[in-house]
Amino acid sequence: MEEETSFSKVGIRRLVLIVDDEHVNRRILGRIIEKEYDVIYAENGQEAYEQIKKRENTLSMILLDLIMPVMDGYQLMALLREDPKYSKIPVIVLTAERTAEAKSLQIGASDFIPKPYDMPEVILARVKRLIELAEDKTIISAIETDALTGLYTKEFFCQHAIIHDNYYPDMPMDAVVLNVNRFHLINELYGRLFGDKVISTIADQLKSIVSETDGIAGRAGSDSFFIYIRHNSDYSVLLDRIVNGLINGTGNSSINLRMGVYQNVDKNTDPEHRFDRAQFACNTIRSGYTNGFVLYDDTMYKRELYSNKLIDDMHVGVENRQFKVYYQPKFDIIGDKPVLRSAEALIRWDHPEYGMVPPGSFVPLFEENGLVQKLDRFVWEEAAAQAKRWKEKFGVTIPVSVNVSRLDIYDPELEKRLLSLVERNGIDPTDYVLEITESAYTDNSEQIIDTVNKLRAHGFRIEMDDFGAGYSSLNMVAALPIDALKLDTQLIRKIDESEKELRMVQLIIDIAGFMKISVIAEGVENEKQYQLLKEAGCSIIQGFYFSKPVLPEEFERLIEEKIRKTPERGTL
Ligand code: C2E
Ligand code: CA
Ligand code: CA
């Protein structure tokens, strides 16, 4: 018996299986092939099949006689062709019949070699060429499909969607996008292996769904799946099926999926665009704690057009100074009377067609495509320049805070950029505050901790924004390097009505105090909320109760008032 080794030290020495019931034939053919390949032998289809099963991953080629006892070549071919593990192994049929070519190809062989074997060079060349060809094909198909799931990659998925349309031009089709809610957290909490399990379990569900419906499935990103299937009017059934499969497959019922569906796609648009729409619908699902699906509709179409217009207009908007920075005061409420302490810079867009557009309409949109970084840098410059002007005009430094998007955290130049900014404007970094949204911390905690530590070492102060809006935990606050906690508007809104909400806020303030982190309450709208927060020990307040975000000229009145009351100079 030959050795199974198929990997030599230099390159890979491929393994070839010769199947023939006649000893002489095996010997002759073996001698020819052995010059370049490792060879193993079998006397009939049955024996060959056992060999193949043992070596599915290392076998490069099968040379197969057709007429044999026990199991003949035809039967073996039938077995191999129906199993995807073996169907890609190239087979050359060995035959004495001169008319065998058509028959060989019919049963799925790649080529045939006529007996007797009187032209060794030709035989060797054929074997070599076919092995190379088969390997090229698997390389291509390796890129074509995603390694973890075996689903098409995005690019190939879209190509296959086009092929599908060519075959079934009149079949009404739906484009479906499926995402896993907070997938990064699943990875963090349960480990990558479990994350992979989640992904491959979903993929298995999708495979069985598309095989029943003449559709195709692909993996478009870490937790993003595309499905292109025959139009279906009830997506709750489909979603339930995937969710149940996921629970059965992983034993975990706390993972939630969201699905966006663009029904009866317009086949005149390219597949990418169809799935953009499905994704658009999918993105409208905000809650991360339930399974749900949304169908793309007319209002989304209008919003899509609006979003596209904003994206198109952004660069010109920056050049033409259509973006305006407003300032909302933060008041210190520890003493008897509230005292102006600092300002938060908030952007607005004075759009030539739409009028004043609030940041909620474009910041999340620009976060998706990276445009937000350009905008943020603009605001950071403006805010620093404004602080400088105020300092020159009033002789006091008004600390300003700016919003830092999670994308900015990935900017390797962030530290340098901010340092140069404060230097150029003669501001002490301690008077330049960076508000980082809480969800950025949960997204990528290691990188953010690293970045924030560096920034704090330079003196910048860091506030965790929107605390209480998402995945907040006080654990997280204890572990993170921050100077202040900004309680989200949602938390504050109900404290004057609900005892429970108030106790919650009280608890957060107490714990933060224990950790020597100050607390800023945002969205304070009335006297009662203000009083309750003051009693609870909150130190700084921001909200319409004191002032809306205003233009710098209007903000100056607050500064002047403050200076009249406390004329000593320095930092506010
Ligand atoms: P944020 O950072 O949490 O900003 C506070 C938001 O609460 C502001 O909304 C502010 O106008 C609003 N607000 C303040 N007091 C009250 C109140 O008493 N009641 C109510 N209902 N709302 C109040 P705005 O200016 O519309 O900004 C919304 C969000 O857009 C901001 O939330 C921030 O996440 C983002 N944003 C604003 N400017 C920028 C920026 O320059 N860069 C980035 N990346 N994001 C920005
Ligand atoms: Ca903020
Ligand atoms: Ca906030």
Mutate to test the pocket of ligand 1, among 323, 489, 529, 533 (most ligand atoms within 8 A of CB): 489
C-beta of 408 in contact with ligand 1 (< 6 A): no
Same domain, 157 and 137: no
For the CA of 372, the nearest atom of ligand 1: 44
CA-to-CA dists, residue 376 to 10, 348, 363, 421, 444, angstroms: 54, 12, 10, 13, 20
CA–CA dist 470, 472 (Å, integer)? 6
C-beta of 525 in contact with ligand 1 (< 6 A): yes
In this prediction, residue 87 has a pLDDT band, given cuts at 50, 70 and 90, of: confident
For the CA of 524, the nearest atom of ligand 1: 18
Asked if residue 310 is part of any domain, the answer here is: no
Distance 403 CA to ligand 3 centre (A): 9
For the CA of 408, the nearest atom of ligand 1: 44
Distance 288 CA to ligand 2 centre (A): 22
Q: What is the CB neighbour count within 10 angstroms for residue 496?
A: 18
**Full residue range of the structural domain in which residue 162 is found:** 152-296
Distance 463 CA to ligand 2 centre (A): 9
Asked if residue 5 is part of any domain, the answer here is: no
CA–CA dist 440, 463 (Å, integer)? 12
Residue 10 has pLDDT above 50, yes or no: no
CB 64 within 8 A of CB 109: yes
Measured by CA distance, the residue closest to atom 27 of ligand 1 is 359
Same domain, 66 and 156: no
Residue in this structure with the two tokens 């949960």, named with its chain if needed: 442
First to last CA, the chain: 89
Q: How many CA atoms lie within 13 A of 290 on its CB side?
A: 7
Residue in this structure with the two tokens 């057709």, named with its chain if needed: 66
Task: State the helix-helix crossing angle for 499-514 and 527-536, rounded to 10 degrees.
Answer: 40
Same domain, 420 and 558: yes
Measured by CA distance, the residue closest to atom 24 of ligand 1 is 359
Distance 314 CA to ligand 3 centre (A): 24
Same domain, 184 and 136: no
Q: What is the mean pLDDT of the chain?
A: 90
CB 81 within 8 A of CB 49: no
Q: What CATH number is given to the structural domain containing 455?
A: 3.20.20.450
Residue type, 383: A
156 against 317, higher pLDDT: 317
Q: Is 491 helix (H, G, I), strand (E, B) or coil?
A: helix
- Predicted confidence at residue 12, as pLDDT, reads 59
- Predicted confidence at residue 379, as pLDDT, reads 98
Task: Give the pLDDT confidence of 244-297 residue by residue, as tens digits.
Answer: 999 999 999 999 999 999 999 999 999 999 999 999 999 888 767 899 999 999
For the CA of 325, the nearest atom of ligand 1: 41
Residue 470 has pLDDT above 90, yes or no: no
β-pairing, 152-153 with 484-487?
Answer: unpaired
In this prediction, residue 144 has a pLDDT band, given cuts at 50, 70 and 90, of: confident
Asked if residue 548 is part of any domain, the answer here is: yes
Alpha helices in 96-153 (DSSP H): 100-106, 120-144
Q: Which bound ligand lies closest to the C-alpha atom of 542?
A: 1
C-beta of 116 in contact with ligand 1 (< 6 A): no
Asked if residue 367 is part of any domain, the answer here is: no
Same domain, 423 and 533: yes
Same domain, 114 and 207: no
Asked if residue 494 is part of any domain, the answer here is: yes
**What backbone phi and psi angles, to 5 degrees, belong to 102?**
-60, -45
- Predicted confidence at residue 143, as pLDDT, reads 75
Distance 525 CA to ligand 1 centre (A): 14
Q: Is 353 helix (H, G, I), strand (E, B) or coil?
A: coil
Percent with pLDDT over 90 in the chain: 65
In this prediction, residue 113 has a pLDDT band, given cuts at 50, 70 and 90, of: confident
Domain boundary among 265, 296, 327: 296
Asked if residue 23 is part of any domain, the answer here is: yes
CA-nearest of 519, 372, 345, 363 to 434 is: 345
Same domain, 43 and 94: yes
CA-nearest of 390, 381, 387 to 399 is: 387
CA–CA dist 225, 427 (Å, integer)? 48
Same domain, 30 and 134: yes
C-beta of 376 in contact with ligand 1 (< 6 A): yes
- Predicted confidence at residue 482, as pLDDT, reads 92
Distance 478 CA to ligand 3 centre (A): 19
C-beta of 543 in contact with ligand 1 (< 6 A): yes
Distance 549 CA to ligand 1 centre (A): 9
C-beta of 360 in contact with ligand 1 (< 6 A): yes
pTM, full prediction? 0.67
Please report which helix (H) or strand (E) contains residue 169, including its range.
Answer: none
Residue 9 has pLDDT above 70, yes or no: no
C-beta of 524 in contact with ligand 1 (< 6 A): yes
CA-nearest of 90, 136, 93 to 114 is: 93
C-beta of 405 in contact with ligand 1 (< 6 A): yes
Please tell me the total count of domains within the chain.
3
Distance 230 CA to ligand 2 centre (A): 45
C-beta of 465 in contact with ligand 1 (< 6 A): yes
C-beta of 520 in contact with ligand 1 (< 6 A): no
For the CA of 542, the nearest atom of ligand 1: 15
Q: What CATH number is given to the structural domain containing 276?
A: 3.30.70.270
Q: Which bound ligand lies closest to the C-alpha atom of 401?
A: 2
Same domain, 160 and 137: no
CB 374 within 8 A of CB 317: no
Q: If you average pLDDT over residues 381-393, what whole number do you get?
A: 97
Domain boundary among 104, 127, 144: 144
CA–CA dist 26, 23 (Å, integer)? 5
Q: If you average pLDDT over residues 548-568, what whole number do you get?
A: 90
Q: Which bound ligand lies closest to the C-alpha atom of 345?
A: 1
Q: If you average pLDDT over residues 365-389, what whole number do you get?
A: 95
Domain boundary among 296, 319, 351: 296
C-beta of 400 in contact with ligand 1 (< 6 A): no
Distance 402 CA to ligand 2 centre (A): 7
Q: Copy the structure tokens of residue 97.
A: 């019949």
Measured by CA distance, the residue closest to atom 30 of ligand 1 is 359
Q: Copy the structure tokens of residue 377.
A: 């840098």
For the CA of 549, the nearest atom of ligand 1: 11
- What size, in residues, is the chain? 572
Same domain, 135 and 170: no
Residue 386 has pLDDT above 50, yes or no: yes
CA–CA dist 100, 306 (Å, integer)? 65
Task: State the helix-helix crossing angle for 120-144 and 23-34, rounded to 10 degrees.
Answer: 70
CB 463 within 8 A of CB 433: yes
CA-to-CA dists, residue 283 to 179, 181, 280, 358, 531, angstroms: 9, 11, 5, 20, 39
Distance 434 CA to ligand 1 centre (A): 14
**What backbone phi and psi angles, to 5 degrees, belong to 3?**
-75, 155
Distance 175 CA to ligand 3 centre (A): 36
Q: What CATH number is given to the structural domain containing 124?
A: 3.40.50.2300
Distance 527 CA to ligand 1 centre (A): 21
Q: Copy the structure tokens of residue 229.
A: 């299937």
For the CA of 402, the nearest atom of ligand 1: 41
CA–CA dist 289, 389 (Å, integer)? 47
Distance 468 CA to ligand 2 centre (A): 13
Q: Which bound ligand lies closest to the C-alpha atom of 360?
A: 1
Q: If you average pLDDT over residues 225-239, what whole number do you get?
A: 95
**What backbone phi and psi angles, to 5 degrees, belong to 396?**
-125, 150
Residue 469 has pLDDT above 70, yes or no: yes
Distance 380 CA to ligand 3 centre (A): 17
Q: What is the CB neighbour count within 10 angstroms for residue 356?
A: 9
Asked if residue 122 is part of any domain, the answer here is: yes
Same domain, 419 and 380: yes
Same domain, 174 and 44: no
Measured by CA distance, the residue closest to atom 4 of ligand 1 is 346
376 against 445, higher pLDDT: 376
Asked if residue 255 is part of any domain, the answer here is: yes
> Which of 78-92, 194-208, 468-482 has the largest mean confidence?
194-208
- Predicted confidence at residue 5, as pLDDT, reads 33
